[in-house]
Chain A
Amino acid sequence: MKNFNYKIDNKKFYLYLINPGSEIDYNNIEEMTGLIKKAVEEGYKEMYFDFKNLKFIDSSGLGRLITASKQLKVVLLNVSEDVMKIFKITNITAFFNFE
C-alpha cells in the first residue's frame, strides 16, 4: 500500500502522506527515501514535507529525515504538536525548517 505521494507546485517539491493518521516507521521509510532521491536527482535544493496527516514517527523516520537534510533543505509543514515534541526531545529541530 502506498503511503506517500508528491506534487510539484510552483517549482517546489512537496511530499505528503496520503492517509490521515499515517505513521512513518521502518516499514515505509524506503518509500519515503525513494521520493527524497527523486527530488535530489531532479535537482531540487529544497523539499517540503507536508505532515498534516502524520500521527506517528519513530527513530527510523527521524533518522531518514536527518539524512535528507544533508542532501537538501528540508522544510516540514503542518507538524502536529505531539509529533513536534518528539523532534524536540531528540534535539533535532535544528536540522529542519518548520512552517
Chain B
Amino acid sequence: MTIVDNLKDIKILRKLIELWLEEMGVDEFKIMSVKLCVDEAVYNGIMHAYKNGGRGKRTVDVTMFKDKNLIKIQVQDYGKKEWYKKYKNDDNKHSELAETTDTAKPHGRGIIIMEKLSKSFKIANADRSGTKVSMAIDLTGNKFIL
C-alpha cells in the first residue's frame, strides 16, 4: 500500500492490518504490535523524511507479508536520507536521544517502540533515495519480559 501525503490514511491502513490479522487468528496484543510498528514507521517517513525539503508528495510504501510465524514489514520513503541518525547511530543502535535517558522529552519514542516490539528491526538508507525500515514481528511467544 502507498500512503501519499495524508496521515489520515494511516488509520485506514491500521484497520486493514487488523482485519487481515484477525482473519489469521492472531492475538490482540500482536495485532496491536504490528499496527503500532507500521504506524510509527509510516509516520516517521511522512514527517521526518520529507521535512524541510524534498519535491513532490510525501510518499511512503508499505509492504507486509506473513512468513511462517513472522509478519515481515518494510516501509520505505523517498525523501532525505539519514533523518533517523539522530535517533540511531551507525551501529543501528539507539542513540542517546532515543534511549530512555530522556524519557521526559515528548518525542523520539517511535523507534524505541518498533525495536522493542519486533524480533528484528533495521533502519537504513534506501538504495536510491530515502530510508527503508525493515522489521519482523514474531507472532509466537513474548519477545520482552515486563
Binding site for B on A (CB under 8 A): 23, 25-27, 55-56, 58-60, 62-64, 66-67, 70, 82-83, 85-86, 88-92, 94-95
If A82-B29, A90-B103 touch, whether A59 touches B113 (CB-CB below 8 Å) is: yes
- In the bound assembly, the distance between CA atoms of A83 and B39 in angstroms comes to 15
- The residues of A that contact B28 with a CB separation of less than 8 Å are 82
If A58-B39, A59-B113, A63-B109 touch, whether A89 touches B146 (CB-CB below 8 Å) is: yes
Chain A residue, CB-CB nearest to B30: A82
Q: How many Å from the CB of A30 to the closest CB on chain B? A: 12
A23 touches B113 (CB 8 A): no
- In the bound assembly, the distance between CA atoms of A26 and B146 in angstroms comes to 27
If A59-B40, A60-B43, A63-B109 touch, whether A89 touches B116 (CB-CB below 8 Å) is: yes
Q: How many Å from the CB of B8 to the closest CB on chain A? A: 6
Q: How big is chain B's contact interface, by range?
A: 20 to 34
B32 touches A56 (CB 8 A): yes
If A23-B11, A59-B109, A59-B110 touch, whether A66 touches B32 (CB-CB below 8 Å) is: no
B65 within 8 A of partner (CB): no
B112 touches A25 (CB 8 A): no
> 0/1 per residue, B76-107, Cβ < 8 Å to A?
00000000000000000000000010011111
- The residues of A that contact B14 with a CB separation of less than 8 Å are 23, 56
Chain B residue, CB-CB nearest to A55: B32
7 contacts between A and B (CB under 8 A): A63-B107, A89-B116, A89-B117, A90-B113, A90-B116, A95-B103, A95-B104
